[in-house]
């Protein structure tokens, strides 16, 4: 006899989750979504480089000319 692995849905129905467990699960889901988004962006950048297209990333905010402070004390 083999036992079927339980899914998150069946576990959630078996016992109610505490608030801490729910927050932790939400945090993990948000982190996973962010990682997927980052991966898709990086794949697009890689494809663009291979295709010879310009890299359209914005870069770091501090690297833009408008972010450079001038010395206004003199």
Residue 45 sits in which domain range? 17-49
Q: Is residue 41 part of a domain?
A: yes
The residue whose two tokens read 């083999």 is 2
Number of domains comprising the chain: 1
Instruction: For residue 6, tell me if it sits in a domain.
Output: no
Do the domain assignments include residue 7? no
Per-residue pLDDT at 69: 59
pLDDT > 70? residue 72: no
Residues whose CB is less than 8 angstroms from the CB of residue 45 and which lie 6 or more positions away in sequence, other chains included: 55, 57
| pLDDT at residue number 16 | 83
Is 37 within the bounds of a domain? yes
Each residue's pLDDT tens digit, 6-64: 555 555 566 788 999 999 999 999 999 999 999 999 999 888 888 776 666 666 655 55
Structure tokens of 45?
Answer: 């950048």
Distance from the first to the final alpha carbon of the chain: 84
Is residue 68 in some structural domain?
no
Residue 63 lies in a domain: no
Asked if residue 39 is part of any domain, the answer here is yes
What is the spatial distance between Cα 24 and Cα 31, in angstroms, rounded to a whole number?
10
For residue 33, being part of any structural domain is answered with yes
73, pLDDT greater than 90 = no
Tokens 């993990």, located at residue: 28
């Amino acid at each position: 006899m083999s036992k079927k692995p339980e899914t998150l849905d069946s576990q959630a129905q078996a016992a109610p989750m505490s608030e801490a467990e729910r927050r932790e699960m939400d945090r993990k889901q948000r982190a996973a979504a962010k990682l997927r988004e980052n991966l898709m962006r990086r794949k697009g950048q890689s494809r663009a480089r291979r295709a010879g297209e310009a890299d359209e990333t914005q870069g770091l905010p501090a690297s833009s000319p408008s972010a450079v402070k001038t010395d206004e004390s003199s």
